[in-house]
Structure 1
Amino acid sequence: MTLDLDAYLTRIGWSGERRPTLEVLRSVHRAHLLGIPFENLDPVLGSAPSLALEDLEAKLVRGGRGGYCYEHNTLLAAVLSRLGFRVTLLTARVVLGAAPGDVRPRTHMMMEVEVAGEPAPYLADVGFGSTGALIEPIALVADAELRDTPRHHRLVHTPHVGPLETWELQAEKSGVWEPQYAFTREPFEAPDYEVINWYIATSPRSPFSRAVYAQRTTARGHLALSGLNLVETAADGTVEERRLADSAEVLRVLARDFAIRLPRDIRLPD
């Protein structure tokens, strides 16, 4: 399938010269993150979302839906390739919230993007559902810092076993660097994500199969829904939390506040 680039760029509200430059990479990345929400309704409703490009276009571009990391980053990788960038798919271990000594599996998808004329590639990722997510790509350089306003990120090397260097993306929170995920630059391929996607969507041990998660970053701040818990983080860091009454209110909030076009006759499990 050939991606409908015009429809995608309309969906994220981006217009500009379609060339593989650093400014285009940054602005498309930001527009995607602000334009398409993060959500896991398909796994909660009992199915693994398709990662086929035609299905991602139908859902995220034309269908008014969001998705989780495999959907977002598969779509963005196709877009960037069409724009002339060289893209390598990567996979990370999420360390955010992990207890000391925990070793989580590699389940998060992101990508390395080469930009002609730039001395180093960039880490791009529009599918990390968190206030610590990148708004713009960051140079893959040890100790590189990025002020992707209103956020602040850096990349560092961490101790590792094996021949490949381990990188860690960190987000600054109240003056403290908070680890988000760790990865190596080993390339992954589409079939690898088919396996990971199936496990994350269908395993009873996966949090994404058990409760609704939604994230939306806007110019005013960030909305995060986890089950019945709704957290709104303003651009100045102010946080407001409230607990929704039931699944009916969850659906209303998803449609109104997260701008998700819900499937007809949707019913969430209790």
Structure 2
Amino acid sequence: MSDAIDLDAYFRRIGYDGPRAPTLETLKAIHRLQPLALPFENLDPWTGKVPALDADSLQAKMIAGRRGGYCFEMNGLLQAVLEALGYRLTSLIGRVVWNRPDGLPTPNRSHMGLRVELPEGVFLVDAAFGGNTMTGPVRLEPDLEQDTPHGKVRLIPDPHGYAVQHLVAPGDWRSTYLLGLEPQVPADFETANWWTATHPSSIFVNNLVITAVKPDGRVMLVNRNLTRRPLEGPPQSERLETAGELARALDEVFDITPPAPVESLFDRLPA
């Protein structure tokens, strides 16, 4: 995959013009900039299309096109870039527990992460978890509260690896997914991608979910509800009542050119 990645085009897309040596500082910079430039979005599975994970498709959609993607696409693209730069990494997969009853994991492993080895240690890289997308790598070490540009993260030991937790409010740590440590191969993600994009119970089949990382916080659209979460201060929410409001949000908030007429997308939204 990495041989086909156009690094110059990728770096223009995310606004990076720094060194390309496979160092921790380069990794931190890329990890911060990709979520700022590429929105997390599930427009393809929500409208009945299974996202393609090959390098050409990822580049056409997210680098050449004005689109983002969900975890298999976003972290797949990041994996290809890091491999092309010479990083030593392994792809990992996890079970989502965010907003699940009593932390009950999803029936399928539906989230992708990356294990990156550096002289400074081993790091978890994950630039695609919706409203809790990380904006910096964290050490793959247990019980260590770690700062990223958009909040604190920690890893709690789990029977199969780690529970990845985010600090959502003072003293309130929430698990997002259970990260397995067994290396994965592309076929593992093809299967998980198909399930996530097609299964009748998948959140991404039943709901429109778009999030953007901003320098001062995050913005999240779930169906008709648009919520802005600043780094400091309370969240602010509004409801999109018309196709025109959805069109403006896609354009001005998320920097997305929709793959279908906005009117047809708006008509699909749950009332």
- TM category (shorter chain) comes to over 0.9
Answer yes or no: is the 8 Å Cα contact 1:216–1:223 preserved in 2.
yes
Match of 2:35 in 1: 33
Cα distance in 1 for residues equivalent to 2:257 and 2:139 = 34
Give the match for residue 148 of structure 1: 148
Q: Which whole-Å CA distance do the structure 2 matches of 1:6 and 1:71 have between them?
A: 19
| Structure 1 residue aligned with 2:127 | 126
Q: Aligned equivalents of 1:106 and 1:149: distance in 2? A: 27
Deviations 1:42-88 (A, max 9, x none): 11221101111001001000101010000001000000001110111
> How far did residue 237 of structure 1 move?
3.6
Query: Of 164, 171, 180, which aligns to 1:169?
Result: 164
- What secondary structure is seen at the aligned counterpart in 2 of 1:65? coil
Match of 1:188 in 2: 184
Q: CA, structure 1 residues 207+134, in 2 after alignment: closer, same or farther (shift >3 Å)?
A: same
Paired residues for 1:175-214 under 5 Å:
175=170, 176-214=172-210
Cα contact 1:138–1:144 (8 A) shared by 2: no
Structure 1 CA distance, aligned partners of 2:61 and 2:89? 23
Indicate the larger mover: 93-102 or 32-41: 93-102
Q: Following the alignment from structure 1 to structure 2, what is the Cα–Cα distance between the partners of residues 264 and 241?
A: 25
Match of 1:63 among 50, 62, 65: 65
Gaps of at least 5 residues in structure 1 are none
* 1:22-101 matches, cutoff 5 A: 22-100=24-102
Specify the alignment match of 1:138 in structure 2: 138
Q: What SS does the aligned partner of 1:126 have?
A: coil
Is 1:235 the equivalent of 2:231?
A: yes
How far apart, CA to CA, are the structure 2 residues paired with 1:173 and 1:211?
A: 23
Of the three residues 243, 248, 256, the one matched with 2:252 is 256
In 1, the alpha carbon distance for the partners of 2:242 and 2:91 equals 38
After TM superposition, give the deviation of residue 248 of structure 1 in Å.
4.3
Measure how far apart 1:261 and its partner are: 1.9
For the aligned residue pairs, the C-alpha RMSD in angstroms reads: 1.5
Question: Does the 8 Å CA contact 1:138/1:145 hold for their aligned counterparts?
Answer: no
Give 1:149 shift. 2.7
Letter in 1 for 2:114: M
Contact 2:97 2:103 in 1 (8 A): no
- Shift of residue 23 of structure 1? 0.5
Offset from partner CA, 1:132-156 (integer Å, 9 cap, x none): 3211010101122221134111112
Alpha-carbon distance, 1:262 to partner: 2.2
- Cα distance in 1 for partners of 2:52, 2:191 equals 12
- Cα distance in 2, alignment partners of residues 157 and 265 from structure 1: 46
Query: Secondary structure at 1:93's aligned position in 2?
Result: strand
1:9 match: 11
Question: Which 5+ residue runs of structure 2 have no aligned equivalent?
Answer: none
Native 8 Å contact 1:9 1:15 kept in 2: yes
Q: Distance in 2 between matches of 1:264 and 1:184?
A: 36
Residue 112 of structure 1, CA deviation: 0.5
Distance 2:126 2:234 in 1: 25
1:225 aligns with 2:189: no
C-alpha change, 1:178 and 1:240, in structure 2 (3 Å) is: same
Distance 1:232 1:5 in 2: 32
When normalised by structure 2's length, the TM-score is 0.92
Contact 1:39 1:215 in 2 (8 A): yes
Deviation at 1:201, TM superposition (A): 1.0
Q: Secondary structure at the match of 1:106?
A: coil
- What TM-score, normalized to structure 1? 0.92
Q: What do the CA deviations read for 1:168-187 (whole angstroms, capped 9, x no partner)?
A: 11111222211111112101
